[in-house]
Amino acid sequence: MNILVLVKRVPDTESKIRVAPDNKGIVEEGLNFIISPYDEFAVEEALRLREAKGGKVTVISVGREEALLILRKCLAMGADEAVLVKDEKPETFDGLRTARAIASLIERKFPDFDLLLFGKQSFGADNAQVPAMVAALLGVPQVNVVVKLAIEGREGVAFREIEGALEKVVFSLPAVISAQKGLNEPRYETLKGIMAAKRKEIPIIPIEELGIRAEDLAPAVEILGLEPPPTKSAGRLVQLPPEEAAKEIVRFLREEAKVF
Amino acid sequence: MILVFIEYREGKVKKSSLEVLAEAKRLADELGWEVVAAVIGSDLKEQTAALWGQGAKKIIQIKGDGLDQYSPEKYTHHLEELIQELRPEAVFMAASAMGRDLAPRLAGKLQVALASDCTKLKVLNGELVFIRPVYAGKALLTLKLKTKPQLATLRPNIFPLSEPQSGEGEVIERKIANPYSGPVAGVAEIIREEGAELDVTEAEVVVSGGRGMKGAENFNLLRELCAIIPRSAVGASRSAVDSGWIGHQHQVGQTGKTVCPNLYLAFGISGAIQHLAGMSGSKVIVAVNKDPEAPIFKVADLGVVGDLFQVIPPLKEELRKALSE
């Protein structure tokens, strides 16, 4: 199977996000960057499928050269190859631009792919747009927010999370799948893997060389501003015997908060 | 015109779709536009009243074989055809599981930008402006869309319903002439979780437990509270989920779901930043925790320092009494 996995470099989810003085982005200085957590499930699933069925796993990222670091991590986990689409001005919040870059790359370099794996959304933009946009641009079926996946021959079965239930979805390859937490437990890199990954060459393709029209590379969204969320002030703290505490909660809900 | 895609499942219009309709109507009134609702597959029957009530001027029912069950490929195809014909200024839908799957596919097909999971919309100098949380709620992004139609999904439980208006509009039946012939991902089966009718993202009250719950079996205490409180669902912190006490679909926070219920009841949740990111938008927060220094108390409207195992039994009684009155 020819499996492609799309990964994104994002700030560590534990980090404190500070808005930049121009109110258009965040302060990157001092932040630790990682592979977006859902993307790790996608990489792990690709490796497991290759181990079971044979084939090749190629990891792809779109962004600045700093993204090479997460591509090396994926190689160290066991991916066969990696490609960086270099975008000096990655527009974090513009899913369409990223989707166009990925779809063009695939049409040019990987037209015979079987499976395209993504994380269900990236940390940061939280758009959850690119997997389905790429599926539409390539005209292949999609299953998003997948917690279980099985491939047999050219057919696949995926379980996707919906409100209070799972949808069992059947599809044929090629297809786009986006991973949800619960799909698997991502492995750690091995020392041997890390050493081997260091020696691998990662081709870098500038986004301008993908044959995308200039007007299609122009941002489709206009950022008016980024701001910290309104802070919620702390309310009242009480310490009472259990029965009185229970009464106080219900009284508060009825009389003050008017929830009931 | 604002076109609103309505989710209709098992004989009911989704409340989150009505919320989108209500918000679309508010914006359309400001802009001098009208609101048209579109539903695929099913016959709305008497449910049209709810749509007229929230401001729909017309309802378009797209009908044809194999459209009863959701399919992102087919639904995208038929909505795209409708959009090419009607040329709406904007297309909105709920940021539900379906909307989050369908809207980006539609955006890809139309090659337009999408504002996902918006929590506020407004009109600025005659143009639509979209506001949405990013970095798991650690920042708010305000953006405009430069492509037409302007496509957006709206987060459930945020936008209020309007006072229902009277009057009826026109229902237009649209038989499909040109069925989708490409490859599809088809839903073969829907597997419901036992006893979990409402998802945490749809619930009006979320009863959530963390590490302080101490074990899987104690989550039954929270299920018992949910049995008393109408339209409630059980939530959990990441540490409870990672300990295997409850399924991931209940997880609230950065690697789980973002919720904004009317009431969030937190039991034994310390309030790590990742958890707060997923629930601090709740309208009212009540937390019970042993540790008076727990960060959850910084966002709680009412904090109770105490042992949840001692507080829950009398709380059940008090709630039962209060809710039966």
Cβ–Cβ contact B191 with A under 8 A = yes
Specify the CATH number for the domain of residue A50: 3.40.50.620
* CA distance to partner chain B, nearest, from residue A199 (Å): 33
Q: What is the pLDDT of residues B32-48, one digit of tens each?
A: 999 999 999 877 878 89
pLDDT above 90: residue B177: no
Report pLDDT for A167: 95
Specify the CATH number of the domain B205-324. 3.40.50.1220
Cβ–Cβ contact B47 with A under 8 A = no
Query: Using CB atoms, which residue from B98, B136, B310 is nearest to A242?
Result: B310
Architecture of domain B2-175: 3-Layer(aba) Sandwich (3.40)
**Residue A181 maps to a domain:** yes
The pLDDT of B103-122, averaged and rounded, is 97
Residue A91 carries which side chain, given as an amino acid letter? E
**Residue A257 maps to a domain:** no
Check A161 against B249: CB less than 8 A apart: yes
* CA distance to partner chain B, nearest, from residue A15 (Å): 9
Q: CA–CA separation, B215 vs B254, rounded Å?
A: 22
- Kindly report the average pLDDT of chain A as a whole number: 95
Check B301 against A252: CB less than 8 A apart: yes
* CA distance to partner chain B, nearest, from residue A21 (Å): 14
Mutate one of B276, B280, B302 to test the A interface: name it (highest A CB count within 10 A).
Answer: B302
Contact B90, B151 (CB under 8 A): yes
Query: Using CB atoms, which residue from A19, A236, A242 is nearest to B306?
Result: A242
Query: Using CB atoms, which residue from A139, A220, A236 is nearest to B303?
Result: A236
Main-chain phi, psi angles of B6, to 5 degrees: -105, 130
Cβ–Cβ contact B86 with A under 8 A = no
Distances (CA, A) of B301 to B251, B270, B296: 22, 15, 10
Number of domains in chain A: 1
Q: Is the ipTM of this complex over 0.90?
A: yes
Strand partners, A177: A117, A143
**Residue A245 maps to a domain:** no
The 10 Å Cβ neighbour count of residue B75 is 21
**Vertex B281 angle, CA A10 and B52, to 5°:** 110
Main-chain phi, psi angles of A68, to 5 degrees: -55, -30
- Kindly report the average pLDDT of chain B as a whole number: 94
Residues of A in Cβ contact (< 8 Å) with B183: 139-141, 171-172, 175
Report pLDDT for B176: 87
pLDDT above 90: residue A253: yes
Q: CA–CA separation, B95 vs A15, rounded Å?
A: 26
Q: What is the pLDDT of residues A116-155, one digit of tens each?
A: 999 999 998 999 999 999 999 999 999 999 999 999 999 9
**Residue A106 maps to a domain:** yes
Residues of A in Cβ contact (< 8 Å) with B302: 235-236, 238, 248-249, 252, 257
Using 50, 70 and 90 to split pLDDT, how confident is the model at B255?
confident
Domain boundaries, chain B: 2-175, 205-324
Q: CA–CA separation, B246 vs B254, rounded Å?
A: 17
Cβ–Cβ contact B144 with A under 8 A = yes
Query: Using CB atoms, which residue from B108, B298, B321 is nearest to A99?
Result: B108
Main-chain phi, psi angles of B244, to 5 degrees: 80, 20
Please give the residue range of the domain that contains residue A55: 2-217
Secondary-structure percent of chain A, ordered helix, strand, coil, rounded to 5: 35, 30, 35
Using 50, 70 and 90 to split pLDDT, how confident is the model at B146?
very high
Q: CA–CA separation, B18 vs B156, rounded Å?
A: 10
Main-chain phi, psi angles of A222, to 5 degrees: -115, 120
Q: What is the pLDDT of residues B203-239, one digit of tens each?
A: 999 999 999 999 999 999 999 999 999 999 999 999 9
B139, B145, B149, B153 alpha-carbon torsion, rounded to 10°? 0
Instruction: Tell me if B2-175 shares its fold with B205-324.
Output: yes
The pLDDT of B108-131, averaged and rounded, is 97
Tokens of B292: 């008076």
CA-closest candidate to residue A26, choices A14, A34, A17, A35: A17
Check B134 against A124: CB less than 8 A apart: yes
Report pLDDT for B196: 62
